[in-house]
Homo-oligomer: A and B are copies of this chain.
Amino acid sequence: MSSADAAARMLDRSDPAAAIAETAERCRNWGRWGPHDVHGTLNFLTDDVRAAAGRLIRRGRAISLSQSFDTDGPQNGWRRRTNPVHTMLDTGAEAARGTQGFPHGFGGADDVVFMPLQCSTQWDGLGHIFDRGKAWNGRDCAEVVTSAGDQVTGIETLADLVAGRGVLLDVGRAVGTDGELPDGFAITVEHLEATIQAQGQTSSVRRGDLLLVRTGRLARARRNGWGEYAGGPSPGLSFTTADWLHDSEIAAIATDTWGFEVRPNEFDGAFQPLHQIVIPNMGLLVGEMWDLDALGEDCAAQGVYEFWLTAGPLRVTGAVGAPLNPIAVL
């Protein structure tokens, strides 16, 4: 069956549940790394792979791939997600007035934050999404994620691992207009391969990679306002890329969009069907709302699309997702 035929079959709009079930079956990694596994595809990112990636540090330029965490963000209250609220416990005003109670001219400022863990640049943990009641590795989702958090695959289990070869597929630049894909644009395997082709050999995708896919959606939100960035129409990965993601044996994928996959979703009445494949079935680490614009500029300018990437999640025990500050070094 050709790739196009397979894609057509995968996208029978009338039956998302069947498509999801069949695709899940093909792409499922349950048991691949034993019954106790909590790392999923991060197992592909071995020390050897990581050691080789170290050689990608060349010029020493570091670029943060994090959006800002503040009230000027995309969240609109959906599922009680707000933007981060950062407030001060002490400020320079109190220090200047000398009312802080410290000796010898010492003054200090301190602060707190309240935020949903999925409010901005983040990793989805393996406990974030379930498929018909099952979490990663086939576990009962009700046992895995309770009110006390993820008891098995909490984000802390990944805290050490996420550093290795990053590779950027700037699909917005390669395939889009003025560096951006339109909302509703489904990135297929063909688009991914065309991008690799256009960018050259430094963008070949390999086992254990941390794959970044830039759509240009964030650049558009910056220019035009957040609008429906969170949950509204967006370019993103097509459901039909599931097998490619599986076969590529990448360790993780991240995009500059709210939800990684194309929206509206390709099935009628569906909700994030590709998530349902890749997180609980494949065990793939998925990143969202990353800022890939400065990185895209640098890669295009240098013609080099691979780099050292460190992207450890904030170590919140039991979290099903976590904010982070990913840093690429080129």
Name A residues whose Cβ lies closer than 8 Å to a Cβ of B. 16-17, 20, 46-64, 66-72, 77, 79-97, 99, 102-118, 121, 127-133, 135, 140-150, 156, 159-163, 267, 269-273, 275-276, 308, 310, 312-321, 323-327, 329
Most buried by B among A51, A59, A97, A315: A315
The answer to whether B110 touches A79 (Cβ under 8 A) is yes
Choice from B56, B121, B315 contacting A64 with Cβ under 8 Å = B315
Choice from B52, B110, B160 contacting A116 with Cβ under 8 Å = B110
Query: How many copies of the shown chain assemble into the complex?
Result: 4
Closest 10 A/B residue pairs (Cβ): A54-B57, A51-B60, A93-B93, A92-B141, A50-B60, A310-B310, A105-B132, A107-B130, A47-B60, A92-B145
The answer to whether A329 touches B163 (Cβ under 8 A) is yes
The answer to whether B96 touches A142 (Cβ under 8 A) is yes
The answer to whether A87 touches B80 (Cβ under 8 A) is yes
The answer to whether A50 touches B57 (Cβ under 8 A) is yes
Taking CB atoms, residues of chain B closer than 8 Å to A321 are: 110-111
The answer to whether A159 touches B93 (Cβ under 8 A) is no
Instruction: Decide: A317 near B70, CB < 8 A? Known: A107-B133, A116-B110.
Output: yes
The answer to whether B317 touches A147 (Cβ under 8 A) is no
Report the bound CA distance from A178 to B267 in whole Å.
45
Taking CB atoms, residues of chain B closer than 8 Å to A107 are: 129-133, 141
Report the bound CA distance from A19 to B131 in whole Å.
43
Report the bound CA distance from A26 to B130 in whole Å.
43
Taking CB atoms, residues of chain B closer than 8 Å to A81 are: 89, 110
Taking CB atoms, residues of chain B closer than 8 Å to A83 are: 77, 82
Instruction: Decide: A318 near B86, CB < 8 A? Known: A91-B93, A112-B114, A113-B117.
Output: yes
Question: Which residue on B lies nearest to A87, using beta carbons?
Answer: B87
Instruction: Decide: A66 near B133, CB < 8 A? Known: A92-B127, A92-B143, A96-B142.
Output: no
26 contacts between A and B (CB under 8 A): A17-B104, A47-B59, A47-B61, A50-B60, A51-B59, A51-B60, A71-B80, A84-B316, A87-B87, A87-B89, A87-B112, A88-B148, A91-B146, A92-B140, A92-B146, A95-B130, A95-B141, A96-B140, A106-B129, A108-B128, A111-B117, A111-B321, A159-B325, A163-B310, A315-B325, A324-B325
The answer to whether A160 touches B105 (Cβ under 8 A) is no
Taking CB atoms, residues of chain B closer than 8 Å to A56 are: 54
Report the bound CA distance from A129 to B107 in whole Å.
6
Taking CB atoms, residues of chain B closer than 8 Å to A102 are: 271
The answer to whether A49 touches B60 (Cβ under 8 A) is yes
Choice from B54, B55, B95, B320 contacting A109 with Cβ under 8 Å = B320
The answer to whether B104 touches A276 (Cβ under 8 A) is yes
Choice from B72, B99, B150 contacting A146 with Cβ under 8 Å = B99
